[in-house]
C-alpha cells in the first residue's frame, strides 16, 4: 500500500434544492473539487459515490451530468457513513496502486423527509407501539445512558448545539447560519427527550467531492504547496454488545475505529488540532468526545463546559457547524467532513480557522452499523 494525498475538495452549500437531482448536485461539487485540484474530469480514473436514498447508479448520474468518461464507478450505501465509505474506496483504489487519480463524491436529495426511517404506514409498523427505533429516540436514549452513568445534564447536551451553530456563522456553506442561545435551544420544542428541535440535525440536499491521488501526482499538482496526506482510514461495524439488538450501540464501533485510526496515523488524540464528528443529535457529540478519546470516561460534560471544543479551545470540534447546523444530506456528509479538515489544514477556513493546524480527524457513523474515521495530516 502506498501513501494517498487529497489534492482537491469542494462542496455546495447544503440546503434545499428541490429543482435539482443528485446528478446536478454532485456535478457541481465535483467541478469545484476538480478546479481546486487543477484537474479535469478526463483525468479521473475511478469514481466512488456515496448516497443512501437515490442509490441506484448515483455515481453514474453525476458522470452523465459532467462527463461520460467510461471509467469504473462504485456506488456505496452505508447509512450515514455512505460518503466516508466512498472516500475510503477512492483511497484504496489509489493506495493499492491500481489508479493514480480517484474521485469520491457524496450526494443526497432529501427534500423535507422529516423523521428518518419513519414508517410509511404506521398501522403495520411496531413503531410507537414497541418503543421507538427512530433516530431522535435512539440518540435521545444514548444521551440518557450518559446521564444515567455520569450525571450529564440537558444543559450540557444543549451547549453542543449552541457551539456548533456559532461555528456555522463563519461557514458560508452551512445550511443554517443562525446564532442560538442556550435558552433558544432548551426552549425549542421537544422532539425526543432530551433532544429538542435545535438539538436535532436538519434534513437537506447537498453534495461534496474529494480527489485523491498517488504521491507522484500529488507532488506534480501541489507545485510546492501544502501536501495533505490521508494518514489513516478506518471502518468498523458493531461488535456484539449485550443491548445492541434493542438499542443501537452508538459507542463501541467508534471506540474501535478511533483506536485503529490513531494507530495507523501514529498519532494520539492529543495530536489532533480539529475534529469533524457525527453530531446528528446534540447528545451524540458528547458521547463521541469520549469515544474519540478527546477526554476521559465520563468527562464529556465537563469538556463542553470548559470550552475546549469551541473555536479557540484546545481541540475545536465541528468547526464547520457540524451536522446540527451545516446540515446532513446523508451521502454528502462524510465527504463534506473531509473538505472541512482539508481547508483547516491548508489555512483556508477563514474566520473559523484553527491556528497551526497540522492534523485533523473526520468521523461519521451510520446506525445498523458503520463507523468511518479518516485522519488527514500535512
Partner 1 sequence: MQRPIVPFIKLPEGGGTPYLVGSRCKACGQVYVGTRRSCPRCYETGQMQEIRLSDRGELYLWTIVHQSAPGINVPYVAGIVDLPEGVSLRANVEGIEPKPENLRFGMPLELFFEVVRQDREGNEIVAYKFRPAAA
Tell which one of 25, 90, 94, 191 touches partner 1 (CB under 8 A): 191
Answer for the pair 258, 292: CB distance below 8 angstroms, yes or no: yes
Residue 213, CA distances (Å) to 84, 139, 217, 331, 344 in order: 16, 37, 6, 22, 19
Shortest Å, Cβ 116 to partner 1? 11
* Residues constituting the chain: 378
Tell which one of 192, 214, 325, 333 touches partner 1 (CB under 8 A): 192
Q: Does 130 bind partner 1 (CB under 8 A)?
A: yes
Q: Does 126 bind partner 1 (CB under 8 A)?
A: yes
Answer for the pair 301, 160: CB distance below 8 angstroms, yes or no: no
Answer for the pair 117, 225: CB distance below 8 angstroms, yes or no: no
Query: Binding string to partner 1 for residues 226 to 265, with x set by CB under 8 A, is what?
Result: --------------x-xx-xxx------------------
Tracing cell 425549542 back to the chain, one arrives at 188
Q: Does 301 bind partner 1 (CB under 8 A)?
A: no
Identify whether 80 is a catalytic site residue: yes
Tell the burial category of 70 from Cβ atoms under 10 Å away from its Cβ (0-12, 13-18, 19+): exposed
Q: Does 112 bind partner 1 (CB under 8 A)?
A: no
Answer for the pair 7, 222: CB distance below 8 angstroms, yes or no: yes
Q: Does 118 bind partner 1 (CB under 8 A)?
A: yes
Identify whether 339 is a catalytic site residue: no
| Angle between helical axes of 154-168 and 282-291 (0-180°, round to 10) | 100
Q: Does 57 bind partner 1 (CB under 8 A)?
A: no
Shortest Å, Cβ 355 to partner 1? 40
Please name every residue paired with 50 in a beta bridge, in sequence order, or none if there are none.
76, 106
Q: Does 284 bind partner 1 (CB under 8 A)?
A: no
Q: Does 133 bind partner 1 (CB under 8 A)?
A: yes
With CA atoms as reference, report the closest residue to 333 among 166, 235, 205, 165.
205
Residue tagged active-site, from 80, 200, 201, 280: 80
Tell which one of 15, 38, 67, 119 touches partner 1 (CB under 8 A): 119
Tell which one of 35, 42, 64, 148 touches partner 1 (CB under 8 A): 148
Tracing cell 452508538 back to the chain, one arrives at 250
Shortest Å, Cβ 198 to partner 1? 13
Query: How many whole angstroms separate alpha carbon 5 and alpha carbon 133?
Result: 39
Tracing cell 470516561 back to the chain, one arrives at 297
Residue tagged active-site, from 167, 288, 328, 374: 328
Interface positions with partner 1 (CB under 8 A) = 115, 118-119, 122-134, 136-137, 140-141, 144-145, 148, 189-194, 240, 242-243, 245-247
**Any idea which residues carry the catalytic annotation?**
80, 328
Amino acid at each position: 500500500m502506498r501513501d494517498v494525498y487529497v489534492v482537491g475538495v469542494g462542496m455546495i452549500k447544503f440546503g434545499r434544492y428541490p429543482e435539482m437531482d443528485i446528478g446536478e448536485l454532485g456535478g457541481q461539487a465535483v467541478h469545484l473539487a476538480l478546479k481546486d485540484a487543477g484537474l479535469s474530469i478526463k483525468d479521473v480514473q475511478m469514481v466512488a459515490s456515496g448516497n443512501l436514498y437515490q442509490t441506484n447508479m448515483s455515481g453514474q448520474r453525476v458522470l452523465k451530468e459532467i462527463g461520460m468518461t467510461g471509467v469504473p464507478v462504485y456506488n456505496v450505501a452505508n447509512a450515514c457513513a455512505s460518503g466516508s465509505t466512498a472516500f475510503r474506496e477512492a483511497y484504496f483504489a489509489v493506495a493499492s496502486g491500481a489508479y493514480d487519480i480517484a474521485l469520491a463524491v457524496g450526494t443526497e436529495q432529501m427534500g423535507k423527509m422529516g423523521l428518518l426511517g419513519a414508517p410509511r404506514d404506521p398501522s403495520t409498523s411496531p413503531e410507537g407501539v414497541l418503543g421507538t427505533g427512530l433516530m431522535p429516540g435512539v440518540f435521545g436514549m444514548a444521551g440518557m445512558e450518559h446521564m444515567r452513568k455520569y450525571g450529564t445534564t440537558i444543559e450540557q447536551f444543549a451547549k453542543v448545539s449552541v457551539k456548533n451553530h456559532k461555528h456555522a456563522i463563519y461557514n458560508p456553506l452551512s445550511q443554517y447560519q443562525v446564532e442560538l442561545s442556550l435558552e433558544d435551544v432548551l426552549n425549542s420544542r421537544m422532539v425526543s427527550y432530551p433532544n429538542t428541535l435545535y438539538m436535532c440535525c436538519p434534513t437537506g440536499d447537498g453534495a461534496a467531492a474529494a480527489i485523491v491521488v498517488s504521491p507522484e501526482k500529488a507532488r506534480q499538482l501541489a507545485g510546492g504547496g501544502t501536501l495533505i496526506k490521508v494518514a489513516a482510514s478506518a471502518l468498523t461495524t458493531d461488535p456484539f454488545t449485550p443491548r445492541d439488538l434493542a438499542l443501537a450501540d452508538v459507542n463501541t464501533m467508534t471506540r474501535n475505529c478511533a483506536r485503529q485510526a490513531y494507530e495507523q496515523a501514529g498519532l494520539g488524540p492529543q495530536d489532533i488540532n480539529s475534529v469533524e464528528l457525527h453530531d446528528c443529535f446534540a447528545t451524540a457529540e458528547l458521547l463521541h468526545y469520549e469515544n474519540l478519546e478527546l477526554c476521559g470516561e465520563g468527562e464529556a460534560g465537563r469538556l463542553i463546559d470548559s470550552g475546549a471544543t469551541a473555536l479557540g479551545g484546545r481541540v475545536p470540534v465541528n468547526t464547520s457547524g457540524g451536522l446540527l447546523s451545516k446540515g446532513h444530506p446523508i451521502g454528502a456528509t462524510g465527504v463534506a467532513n473531509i473538505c472541512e479538515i482539508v481547508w483547516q489544514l491548508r489555512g483556508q477556513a477563514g474566520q473559523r480557522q484553527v491556528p497551526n493546524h497540522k492534523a485533523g480527524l473526520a468521523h461519521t457513523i451510520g446506525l445498523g452499523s458503520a463507523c468511518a474515521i479518516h485522519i488527514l495530516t500535512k
